[in-house]
A and B are shown apart, each in its own frame.
Chain A
Amino acid sequence: MPFLEDIDIAFIEPCVADPGRVRLYAEPSRDLAEVLPYLNAVINHATYNKDGPSLTFMKEFRLITIYPRRITMSKAQNTTDAWQVLDWLKDLINDTYDRRGSITPVHGVRWRPTALQIYEWLPRTNCKACGEPTCLAFAVKLLLGERTPQECEPLFLPEHASLRRAFFEIVAAFGYPAPPGYPAPPGT
């Protein structure tokens, strides 16, 4: 019997900013908290938030966050793509769990997204409203702690709701809480 038998998609919707893609959350058939530090060691570009706990990483162009009882995914190509990636993730989780005796768990944050990855989740309008000449510059300043997510005004426009959710998932992973009044990401 594998550690994790199944992951079922529980909710799916089109990405508002990218109607050709979908975002979703899925429910694992068991609690994943104990395996997260091991996954953090195995997925070398993941960001682990031990207080959540949650583990965030990119799978190609998809943003995935694993919580103990929930997995979120943004920018999947379609449901077929989502199922295929969830199958991959299930196998990875089971393989990691089986090999946990030989893996040193990592409990700290060991990776931060790059400016380009943050930039991917910004509206990319280069509107300069934040005071930076470009959105890429804003992303760099955000990484350096010189700007806050709330300073990106277009991000809070209704048409960027999908980007906004995903954006706060990725920046939460390296320490930025969601702004007051903004619903926490699913699963938190």
Chain B
Amino acid sequence: MTDSTERWGKPVCVPGDEDREQERGSGRGLAGSMTDVDIYMDNAATSFPKPEAVIEAMADFMRNVGASSGRGAYRKALEADKIVFRARQAVARLLGVADVLRVVFTANATESLNLAIKGLLSPGDHVVTTSMEHNAVWRPLKAVERTRGVTISQAPCAHDGTLDPADMEALLRPNTRLIVMTHASNVTGTLMPVAEAAAIARARGIPILVDCAQTAGVHPIDVERLGLDLVAFTGHKGLMGPTGTGGLYIRGGLDLVPLKDGGTGGDSMLEHQPEWLPDRFEAGTLNVCGIAGLGAGARFVLEEGVERIREKEAGLLRRLLDGLSEIPGLEVYGPRDPARQVAVVSLNVRGVPAEEVASRLDREYGIMVRAGLHCAPCAHKTIGTIQRGAVRISLGYFNTEGDVDQCVRALARIAGRLSEVRLHADRS
């Protein structure tokens, strides 16, 4: 096992390390090998560390169950079925979905968005989206534009990523068949007016698809109360599960053309995909091991409580934003307000390329963040960083105030302004 010093080089010693492990909450049963010098702040890409229960559920499945779900009547196969059902039930509960059957598992949010977009749109249809979308929305839309002649309108968002729902409403046409939007930007964290957009969609009888990749598990969402028609989520971010898991909620009465056809288990006599959910959209052997982990992650979130998670992340975000505001020479994008965004912040250090900032944070300070365009060129165009990209800091439930303070100090050093910065943590 390579230790952190070998991996990251000798870290610059920064004050405040001693309380970090305690503050991080080792009593929570975290898995992973976070050491004193690893500060993971790329939770918008995937959350880390994972709750120990997630690793245990996956290991238990691999060691003791192993069978495919929906494919047999022997005890282990039925146990696999039950694991999948319990995971589906936990996710449904988190999203505010009463009928568990309406939650379909996929490999990730991207597959879910593809299923929704390609399963719904036909030649001649028009779709409205926003200028803050991830490529997981934008590329499937561009694909159906090219292959099916679907037309796209992009509602313009402000420089901080915020959207005025009226700007979206103004784009609707008689042939608008779908509204697609993210719940929160993966670049700026900006929360989008999903409730208002859903009301507009409902009034016009247009289905609305919401990309919850950045919000499921970290920001409350009540799918049925909001009247959302399609909700794509990933399992490996806020839901704390492993990569390779995700899903799509599909409102009752709304049918999609399946993205894939194939075996679904007990209904082999049928020559076409069954009509019933979730089997209709789950052809092929499921990722039962991953889903076991996803179920454990979702149950962890349910036990902790989404509100509590949101509150903690908002507190860390406030601390980060306050710290960043004290460093001259930083450009911080997004609303800069925890009430209006999730715990994702993009920034640039004036005069230093984003990639260099991220690389120095990693090599010199053991702080893991992501630089570039974050698979979201639309969003970077909107905030004015399409050429240079940005450094994205995305906090998670297991980050600590100490992590945030170290990140601020490190950025202050990289900006060459540490002597000018009197951090909140230093004053208290």
- Chain A contact residues, CB within 8 Å of chain B: 8-14, 19-22, 77-81, 83-84, 87
Contact = CB atoms under 8 A, between A and B. Distances in A.
A174 to B, nearest CB: 30
Contacts of B88: 80
Contact of A78 (B75, B82, B268, B279): B279
Contact of A80 (B75, B85, B267, B275): B85
B81 A81 contact: no
Contacts of A84: 85, 89, 99-101
Contacts of A9: 78, 81-82
B346 to A, nearest CB: 40
B402 interface: no
B278 interface: yes
Nearest to B70: A79
Contact of B276 (A8, A77, A87): A77
A9 B276 CA distance: 20
Contact of A81 (B89, B275, B276): B276
A38 B70 CA distance: 34
Interface string B246-288: 0000000000000000000111111000111111000000000
Contacts of A21: 267
B73 interface: yes
5 contacts: A10-B78, A20-B275, A80-B277, A83-B89, A87-B89
A77 B265 CA distance: 12
Given A12-B78, A20-B276, A80 B101 contact: yes
A72 to B, nearest CB: 14
Interface in B79-104: 81-82, 84-85, 88-89, 99-101
A95 B89 CA distance: 20
A19 B268 contact: yes
Given A77-B276, A80-B88, A8 B267 contact: no
Contacts of B82: 8-9, 83
Contacts of A12: 73, 78, 266
Contacts of B277: 80
Given A9-B81, A21-B267, 4 more contacts: A8-B82, A78-B101, A78-B279, A79-B81
A77 B267 CA distance: 10
A22 B276 contact: no
Contacts of A10: 75, 78
Nearest to B85: A83
Contact of A8 (B78, B265, B268): B78
Nearest to B274: A20
Interface residues of B, number: 26
Contact of B265 (A79, A81, A87): A79
Nearest to B99: A84
Contacts of B100: 80, 83-84
A78 B73 contact: no
Interface in B57-90: 69-70, 73, 75, 78, 81-82, 84-85, 88-89
Given A12-B78, A78-B279, A79-B85, A20 B270 contact: yes
B205 to A, nearest CB: 27
Contacts of A13: 73, 266
B284 to A, nearest CB: 15
A94 to B, nearest CB: 17
Contacts of A19: 267-270
A11 B88 CA distance: 21
A14 B89 contact: no
Given A20-B275, A20-B276, A84-B100, A78 B266 contact: yes
Contacts of B265: 78-79
A122 to B, nearest CB: 21
- Closest 6 A-B residue pairs measured CB to CB? A19-B269, A83-B85, A77-B276, A14-B266, A84-B100, A79-B81
A13 B267 CA distance: 9
A63 B147 CA distance: 46
B77 to A, nearest CB: 9
Contact of A14 (B69, B101, B267): B267
A78 B276 contact: yes
A13 B81 CA distance: 13
B209 to A, nearest CB: 22
A83 B69 CA distance: 13
Contacts of A81: 101, 276
